[in-house]
Amino acid sequence: MSNNRKFTRRQTLKLIGFGAAGAALAACAAPPSAAPAAPAESKPAEQPAAGGGKLEIFSWWTSGGEVEALEALYKLYREKYPNVEIINAALAGGAGQGGNMKAVLETRMIGGDPPDSFQVHLGQELIGSHVKAGRMEELSELYASEGWNDVFPKGLIELASYEGKPYSVPVNIHRSNVMWYNVKHLADAGMEKPPATWDEWFAYAEKLKAKGIGALAVAGADPNFSAHVFENILVATLGPDKYLGLFNGQTKWDDAGVKEAMGLLLKTHEYAQDGYQSVAWGDINEVMTSGKASTMIMGDWTHGLFLSAGFKDYHWAPAPNTNGVFVALSDSFGLPKGAKNRENVINWLKLCGSREGQDAFNPIKGSIPARTDPDLSKYDDYLKETIEAFKTNTIVGSIQHGAAAPQGFVNDYDTVVSTLLASKDVEAAARQLVDAANAAGLSG
Ligand code: GAL
């Protein structure tokens, strides 16, 4: 199990490459040039006049917190550009069925009918799926004119960049290794503090079992949910350095720590809430707010969802054995080549990257701003704590949320976790992950 290491700011920046991207992106860390944006071969001949036309924004933000946060950005945009009609093309499903959104997006991108802008995770999801395919405009000029090279952390700019040029604008940073817990359940069980290790968590889970309460909220109808839990257990059993090694061949996917994590994952699911197999990711919050389960290992969009639902009986702690590590991901927006309303998109990106936009969006979304100069008075205790943690913790990238590994690997990883939960065959799952890593070129 990892210990509770503290890292200096310098170390944090060194590790900020969010995993797989780290080494490769460090090599292209040269400041983006101020060259004009690459000409979009497929740019439509006629662009709507400034201040008019449409703006189609594609995302999977349809849940509480997400909708309101996006709406806060739209409101600011409408105030600035009242003649632009915003088309909110959001597809329901969250990160689980984000797969659906991604499939539709892929079809549209390949078919030359891109949305004007779309939600995309910084890191491998952006670069591997869209930039390398030559479907995005580079944004060096915008970064320079908006001063973003000075206000986004260098590591984040690297994650947005390919061959030294940025291709997307980060709107936030989410932490994915959070354990959300029901404070009343904890107090009723006579616990003074939340479980900090998996050993403590299982002891708590036994107490809850005796009361008929699930220890872990699980959306079993959507296996990607458990894959999210699994990456957090991987960080716990491997520690941050070995976890990062999974993406460059330094750590093998059949390492003893990976197998230990699989065993723990299987054991956690013995303590899931009743009927968990039929719960979809989009409905998981009700499991927590109704008290059917006591803890949930999930990213901090949960904070936004709980706020939106008016749920108050909760608090948070790092996922067990991950104290001192910040598993990160970042939502961003970019400019696809051939966007029908290019000028409107550029204004959208300016807003997404602005202090005003980030301070309107993030306090509702449950994420911290990508910018380093927020108006802290707008952020609540959870977010202030998380802004601090981001400065001091070791940063690693999330697999499930696109930062650490390419989408092809994420798909395989999800399938393996799903198969593991059914077969309980740890050896087979480890072999499958080794194969998936080889196929994705993660083996060094
Ligand atoms: C993540 C995304 C978050 C939130 C979450 C919901 O991948 O980055 O913003 O949408 O999915 O499941």
Please indicate, yes or no, whether residues 194 and 146 belong to a single structural domain of this protein. no
Say how many Å lie between the CA of residue 58 and the centre of ligand 1. 13
Q: Give nearest CA residue, ligand 1 atom 8.
A: 331
Closest CA to 66 of 402, 361, 314, 370: 361
| Mean pLDDT taken over the chain | 89
Q: Helix, strand or coil for residue 407?
A: helix
Does 386 map to a domain?
no
Residue 381 is predicted with a pLDDT of 98
Closest CA to 9 of 427, 339, 341, 393: 393
Q: 325 CB contacts (<8 Å, ≥6 apart)?
A: 2, 177, 235, 239, 240, 318, 393, 394, 396
Please indicate, yes or no, whether residues 253 and 147 belong to a single structural domain of this protein. no
Say how many Å lie between the CA of residue 44 and the centre of ligand 1. 31
Q: Which long-range contacts (CB under 8 A, 24 or more apart) does 192-196 make?
A: 194/295, 194/315, 194/317, 195/295, 195/317, 195/320, 196/317, 196/318, 196/320, 196/321, 196/323
Closest ligand 1 atom to Cα of 174? 8
- Mean pLDDT of the 347-360 span: 98
- Mean pLDDT of the 60-82 span: 95
Residue 350 pLDDT class (50, 70, 90 cuts): very high
* Cα gap 332→361, rounded to integer Å: 12
Residue 81 pLDDT class (50, 70, 90 cuts): very high
* Cα gap 58→107, rounded to integer Å: 13
Residue 2 pLDDT exceeds 80: no
Q: Give nearest CA residue, ligand 1 atom 5.
A: 95
Indicate left, alpha or beta for 332 from its phi (over 0: left) and psi (-120 to 50: alpha). Answer: beta
Residue 223 is predicted with a pLDDT of 80
Q: Helix, strand or coil for residue 416?
A: helix
Closest ligand 1 atom to Cα of 299? 5
* Cα gap 329→396, rounded to integer Å: 9
Beta strand 85-90 with 54-59 is parallel
Q: Give nearest CA residue, ligand 1 atom 1.
A: 95
Closest ligand 1 atom to Cα of 96? 12
Cα dihedral 312→313→319→322 (10° resolution): 80
Does 394 map to a domain?
no
Say how many Å lie between the CA of residue 42 and the centre of ligand 1. 30
Report the residue among 226, 301, 333 best suited for mutation to probe ligand 1: largest number of ligand atoms under 8 A from its CB: 301
Print the domain residue range for 268: 175-327+400-440
* Cα gap 228→293, rounded to integer Å: 17
Residue 400 pLDDT exceeds 50: yes
Report the residue among 60, 222, 231 best suited for mutation to probe ligand 1: largest number of ligand atoms under 8 A from its CB: 60
More confident of the two residues 438 and 18: 438
DSSP string, 347-401: HHHHHHHSHHHHHHHHHHHT-B-SSS---GGGS-HHHHHHHHHHHHSEEEE-TTT
Say how many Å lie between the CA of residue 69 and the centre of ligand 1. 12
Estimate the share of the chain in helix, then strand, then coil, as percent rounded to the nearest 5.
Answer: 50, 15, 35
Token pair for 40: 């979009």
Residue 98 pLDDT exceeds 60: no
Instruction: Find residue 397's DSSP bridge partners.
Output: 328
Indicate left, alpha or beta for 298 from its phi (over 0: left) and psi (-120 to 50: alpha). Answer: beta
Residue 99 pLDDT class (50, 70, 90 cuts): low
Please indicate, yes or no, whether residues 370 and 414 belong to a single structural domain of this protein. no
Say how many Å lie between the CA of residue 125 and the centre of ligand 1. 13
Tally of domains within the chain: 2
Report the residue among 63, 285, 331 best suited for mutation to probe ligand 1: largest number of ligand atoms under 8 A from its CB: 331
Does 284 map to a domain?
yes
- Mean pLDDT of the 84-99 span: 78
Number of H helices and number of E strands within the chain? Answer: 19, 14
Please indicate, yes or no, whether residues 323 and 357 belong to a single structural domain of this protein. no
Say how many Å lie between the CA of residue 103 and the centre of ligand 1. 16
Q: Which residue has the tokens 């197999």?
A: 277
Say how many Å lie between the CA of residue 298 and the centre of ligand 1. 10
Cα–Cα distance list, 384 to 240, 257, 320 (Å): 23, 33, 21
pTM (2 d.p.): 0.90
pLDDT digits (tens, 9 = 90+) for 26-50: 222 222 222 333 333 344 434 444 5
Residue 1 pLDDT exceeds 80: no
User: Is the C-alpha dihedral spanning 201, 204, 206, 211 positive or negative?
Assistant: negative
DSSP string, 112-139: T---SEEEEETTHHHIIIIITTT-B---
Please indicate, yes or no, whether residues 214 and 363 belong to a single structural domain of this protein. no
Q: Give nearest CA residue, ligand 1 atom 3.
A: 301
Cα–Cα distance list, 134 to 111, 137, 317, 342 (Å): 13, 8, 41, 17
Please indicate, yes or no, whether residues 73 and 93 belong to a single structural domain of this protein. yes
* Cα gap 323→4, rounded to integer Å: 5
Say how many Å lie between the CA of residue 401 and the centre of ligand 1. 7
Residue 320 pLDDT exceeds 80: yes
pLDDT digits (tens, 9 = 90+) for 220-251: 998 899 999 999 999 999 999 999 999 999 99
Q: How many of the other CB atoms lie within 10 Å of CB of 221?
A: 16
Token pair for 180: 């959300």
Residue 101 pLDDT class (50, 70, 90 cuts): confident
Does 245 map to a domain?
yes
Q: Which residue has the tokens 């780290």?
A: 22
Residue 95 pLDDT exceeds 80: no
Least confident of 88-97, 280-289, 311-320: 88-97
Does 384 map to a domain?
no
Cα dihedral 31→35→36→40 (10° resolution): -80
- Mean pLDDT of the 336-342 span: 97
Residue 46 is predicted with a pLDDT of 47
Does 25 map to a domain?
no
Please indicate, yes or no, whether residues 254 and 363 belong to a single structural domain of this protein. no
Please indicate, yes or no, whether residues 420 and 342 belong to a single structural domain of this protein. no
Please indicate, yes or no, whether residues 107 and 245 belong to a single structural domain of this protein. no
**Residue 106 CB burial class (10 angstroms; 0-12, 13-18, ≥19):** middle
Token pair for 303: 């904070």
Please indicate, yes or no, whether residues 218 and 300 belong to a single structural domain of this protein. yes
Alpha carbons within 13 angstroms on the beta-carbon side of residue 287 total: 29
Please indicate, yes or no, whether residues 312 and 235 belong to a single structural domain of this protein. yes
Residue 444 pLDDT class (50, 70, 90 cuts): confident
Does 5 map to a domain?
no
pLDDT digits (tens, 9 = 90+) for 134-179: 999 999 999 999 999 999 999 999 999 999 999 999 999 999 999 9
Q: What percent of the chain has pLDDT over 70?
A: 87
Please indicate, yes or no, whether residues 243 and 184 belong to a single structural domain of this protein. yes
- Mean pLDDT of the 269-284 span: 95
Say how many Å lie between the CA of residue 210 and the centre of ligand 1. 33
Q: Give nearest CA residue, ligand 1 atom 2.
A: 95
Say how many Å lie between the CA of residue 321 and the centre of ligand 1. 23
* Cα gap 247→444, rounded to integer Å: 8
Q: Which residue ranges have their beta carbon within 6 Å of ligand 1?
A: 60-61, 66, 94-95, 98, 121, 174, 301, 329, 331, 401
* Cα gap 223→327, rounded to integer Å: 20
Instruction: Find residue 163's DSSP bridge partners.
Output: none
Closest ligand 1 atom to Cα of 329? 8
Domain holding 102: CATH number?
A: 3.40.190.10
